[in-house]
Copies of this chain bind each other. A is one copy, B any other.
């Protein structure tokens, strides 16, 4: 093994995630082939590097000039990407070595994870070949990478060029690629993902080291069925959490989970308690499931962590407000009653129906400017460390029937939305200016223009009180991890 360093410029994943040229095996002019779908996604997502399909018979693949052998390309190649029958991989990897390629992604399955001994043999073989040429590689049995920073999506799933601040590394390809429609649905954006597959070479510890050094990645998430190098894993995470949180979801910890994991990644898992201890030592926060981990990563990647447990709840509706108050306490945070001074300040700006005790319940107020004012007042008071807010208005959805009866509303609405947009920008800037977190609960779709806007400004949106409060709790946990080392 070479280059197991943590220096960003030298880290093996740096070149692998940011290639300027890719040689691609497995793509053809047959649209039913996995490699073809991957190449189509690379070509259509806006990747600006060079891509060279390697194909035994085609001279062009989807309009891109193809080469019979990688040695024919005649230009430097940063990354070899192969979606090939298992048996062919060793030979192609050897060709890559001879062509001087130092990074590879092996999508092909059928190695260590497959039934029988042949796959295990082949996996040993490709490790030996890679070692001989100094090739660092991802996989086999993975779905590739996504790097929104260079518009590179090598998976089979089309994705928009994301611009979030989350870095994912996963022993499951589905959780990096197939999950994409869910991410779009909830509004979560991912900066980079790495599907590590069987981890024959590059593993989760490497990914942590790498993400620790990527400035655009603010929070790291791991899907874990096993940890192959516990000591390196703990070292990498302990180093990383000094600057950014590391979360992990682990599902190897029950009898059936462990059985399933063995057939999936060919690795032995351990009981929940062992992994709980390992994560604790590493400063890693454990999430229960992928949706929960993504909720937490979202908050951690774009809002400041609270330095204390005191939360304010601001709402214009009783049910969500009560739910937020309840769940805040259930996760071990607090909803302190405000001081008489703060109550007086709040009373001065709210209407006669409002309750300002914490929760602040405006009952049915739709004056969005008031929300901003209230957040500023409670942050300014020094009495709270974070704010939950319910009641942001969405786009025009709620007026859809009304507009059929009042066509003039189109203009009124356009004016209102224009104003609302500038409000949202100012509103979203408040938490940053106080260095305190604001999490929003809302049922409105993240694809609704106003909600999309506030998401773009770095405020995460949660569809339930338990999800919002759990995310805030995790931020506080991370604050404590960072403080207490």
Contacts and interface: CB of A to CB of B under 8 A. Distances in A.
Interface string A105-123: 0000110011100000000
A325 B409 contact: no
A319 B422 CA distance: 42
A311 B314 CA distance: 43
Nearest to A171: B319
Given A156-B398, A254-B330, A398-B158, A322 B264 contact: yes
Contact of A323 (B41, B289, B320): B289
Nearest to A114: B353
Nearest to A353: B114
15 contacts: A31-B405, A63-B405, A171-B319, A172-B320, A173-B318, A179-B443, A181-B444, A182-B443, A253-B326, A255-B335, A256-B328, A256-B359, A257-B326, A264-B319, A264-B322
A320 B174 contact: yes
Given A173-B317, A291-B466, A355-B115, A178 B261 contact: no
Contacts of A259: 325, 337, 357-359
Given A256-B359, A319-B171, A402 B327 contact: no
Interface in A222-276: 223, 225, 251-257, 259-261, 263-265
A292 interface: yes
Contacts of A40: 401-402, 404-405
Given A37-B401, A257-B329, 17 more contacts: A31-B409, A36-B402, A37-B398, A110-B353, A174-B443, A175-B320, A181-B394, A184-B445, A225-B318, A254-B325, A254-B329, A255-B329, A255-B335, A256-B326, A263-B361, A264-B318, A289-B465
A43 B402 CA distance: 10
A281 interface: no
A326 B254 CA distance: 6
Contacts of A419: none
Specify how many copies of this chain sit in the oligomer. 2
Contacts of A113: 318
A443 B352 contact: no
Interface residues of A, number: 98
A263 to B, nearest CB: 4
Contacts of A109: 353, 363-364
A173 B319 contact: yes
A75 to B, nearest CB: 24
Given A185-B185, A363-B109, A37 B402 contact: yes
Contact of A466 (B174, B263, B288, B406): B288
A317 B178 contact: yes
A264 B321 CA distance: 9
**Residue with the greatest number of chain B CB neighbours at <10 A, chosen from A63, A319, A406:** A319
Contacts of A62: 405
Interface in A294-324: 313, 317-323
Contacts of A405: 31, 40, 43-44, 62-63
